[in-house]
Structure 1
Amino acid sequence: MLKAFYKSINHDFNLLQGDSIEILKNLNFQFDMIFADPPYFLSNDGISVHSGKQVSVNKGLWDKSQGFVRDNEFNYRWISTCREKLKEDGTIWISGTYHNIFSAAQMLTELNFRILNCVTWAKTNPPPNLSCKFFTHSTEFILWARKNKKITHFYNYELMKQINGGTQMRDLWSLPAIAKWEKSCGKHPTQKPLPLLARIILASTKPNAWILDPFTGSSTTGIASSLLDRKFLGIDKELEFLELSKKRREEIDSLQIREDYKNRIYKYSDKPIQDIIEIQNKEPYYGPDLPIA
């Protein structure tokens, strides 16, 4: 049995350290939903802006491109491994930019997923363009695909419609990048905002569903899962990021902080928080526990 790096007291938040492909091969479990924020392959010695200062875009060796063929092979391997750990009616979300998202889409197609949407996340507060020689980068893409073309997936259409002011939610989402309050325990170089992950989880899972993040980083997926009464497994190689994930999960053991964070993520909805909770709790899911020690 695999040994957990960390388990929350109520076992809703679990972390494993190591290579996600190797770990998942040894995990006899299937998940309801997977969110993956894989390497974007954009660490190319360029310059960006953070808090008004010039900074390198380099995130680490894990984010450097190894060339067209090897990048595609990497995407095929991890998506193929994740496919085996996804339930037949399960779905996967993959985030990226033009550096990696087309490769991910190609691998999904080759592995017989059905791509449902390519969501465009339009950042309301993108960093400025220093060169002034091209348009300011202000979007990321998130592919949503289901494992089985013939088996329908879960989509909370009514909830998405309600939080969008009573009209169908489109695949263009205007949401901010991470805010200061999301960095209280530290910051991951590619950290995603809680409101973004909350929307993804609410749209495609029921309460108590099991969610996997194979590149967990600071575990925004897991924090959103816990706040929304789901269960989570995150995997990462880096001890620094796992320690940050642990701190973030323990932070929301405080009921005051937990409620504050819930209110902050629901701020981006046109529906009151209590109404959202009532809508999403109509059909809770109950499944087995994760087999890790």
Structure 2
Amino acid sequence: MQTYYEKKDLKLFLGDCIETLEKITPETIDMIFVDPPYHLSNNGFTCQAGKAVCVNKGDWDKSSGVQKDFDFHQKWIACCKRVLKPSGTIWVCGTYHSIYSCGFALQKSNFKILNDICWFKPNASPNLSCRYFTASHETLLWAKKDSKSKHIFNYETMKNGEWDHDKIKQPNKQMRSVWAINTPKMSEKTFGKHPTQKPLELLRRIILASTNKADLILDPFTGSSTTGIAALELGRKFIGIDAEKQYLDLSIKRFEQAFSKKDKLW
């Protein structure tokens, strides 16, 4: 397990997520956010910034077939369960290409699914073929380790927090399972971008909902480490794993900028 970057309460590891997870001490993680490969790199096209672009993201996103893709999801989910505390929860993000497989794998590992969240993207890209409904959401599965475990849910924060950016959330009403959050802002791509980068606002909400300050958060497919940036901002600890050096280098630039901003506040 190669430590690629370490500063204060943050650690990044370069390597295969399953091999790295197997070396982490069992039951030490408070929350896991997982944005696994959706296996969409099939030489097709999508719309990005008004232009047709190839959907291929890298070899890591290519499908190996339904059964092998499912086997892969089962392996990393089993590894995540081993390192998760009894009170911990896991969040898994995906589209219809992957989320059903992940959900079944969670159930086979005896996780208890608490919610499926619809992350609605008001600014989603249009559909180029005009033969399908425009894909404008992703699904988040939130699960606890088993049916008997007691998990963290910061109900009051979700109900009474400031969520002015979300047109669906009504003031002083319970947080519903549909969240309207735009895709990443340009300011979140200052040093470049990951092809499946998630918006900071999404991760802020997840972390505020299901962790407390000083909790340890893990992202086994960390990419450009949006999870880690949100964790740092909110006073949590973070471990990120990725097999792609270029995205860990991007993560480091983002972390250094975030640390610089925090230092200025002090």
CA contact (8 A) 2:2 2:15 kept: no
Q: Distance in 2 between matches of 1:72 and 1:153?
A: 27
SS of structure 1 residue aligned to 2:120 = strand
- Do 1:113 and 1:147's aligned partners in 2 also have CA atoms closer than 8 Å? yes
Letter in 2 for 1:54: A
Separation in structure 1 between the aligned mates of residue 88 and residue 212 of structure 2, nearest angstrom = 12
Match of 1:181 among 168, 172, 187: 187
**Which one-letter code corresponds to 2:61 in the other structure?**
D
Whether contact under 8 Å (1:227, 1:258) holds in the other structure is no
Distance 1:49 1:65 in 2: 21
Q: 2:32 corresponds to which residue?
A: 34
1:1-293 superposed matches below 5 A: 2-8=1-7, 11-29=8-26, 30-163=28-161, 164=169, 165-255=171-261
Please state how far the C-alpha of 1:3 moved relative to its aligned partner. Answer: 4.3
Q: Is the 8 Å Cα contact of residues 114 and 146 (structure 1) preserved in structure 2?
A: yes
Say which SS state the counterpart of residue 141 (structure 2) adopts: strand
Secondary structure of the structure 1 residue equivalent to 2:57: coil
**Structure 1 runs of 4+ with >6 Å offset:** 256-259
C-alpha separation in 1, matches of 2:19 and 2:150: 29
Deviations 1:146-194 (A, max 9, x none): 0021121000000000024110001100000011010011100100000
CA contact (8 A) 1:89 1:148 kept: no
The offset of 1:50, in angstroms, is 1.3
Cα distance change, pair 90–24 in 1 and its aligned pair in 2 (3 A)? same
Aligned to 1:275: none
Q: Is the 8 A contact 1:197 1:220 kept in 2?
A: yes
Asked if the contact 2:152/2:211 (under 8 Å) is kept, the reply is: yes
**Residue 285 of structure 1 aligns with which residue?**
none
Contact 1:155 1:205 survives alignment (8 Å): yes
Find the residue that maps to 1:72 and give its secondary structure: helix
Q: 2:102 is paired with a residue of what secondary structure? A: helix
Residues 135 and 87 (structure 1 numbering): CA distance in 2 closer, same or farther, change over 3 Å?
same
- Report how far residue 246 of structure 1 moved: 0.4
User: Is contact 2:119–2:137 with CA below 8 Å preserved after alignment?
Assistant: yes
Q: TM-score, normalised by structure 1?
A: 0.85
Which stretches in structure 1 are left out of the alignment for 5+ residues? 260-293
Distance in structure 1 (CA, Å) of the matches to 2:101 and 2:244 = 25
C-alpha deviation, 1:134, in angstroms: 1.5
Unaligned runs of 5+ in 2: 162-168
Query: Normalising by structure 2, what TM-score?
Result: 0.93
* Identical columns (%): 51
8 Å contact kept, 1:13–1:233: yes
Determine if contact 1:251/1:257 at 8 Å carries over to the other structure.
no
CA RMSD between the two structures: 1.4
SS at match of 2:256: helix
Is the alpha carbon distance of 1:255 and 1:156 closer, same or farther for their aligned partners in structure 2, counting shifts above 3 Å? same
SS in 2 for 1:124: coil
Partner amino acid, structure 2, of 1:24: L
1:258 shift after superposition:
8.4
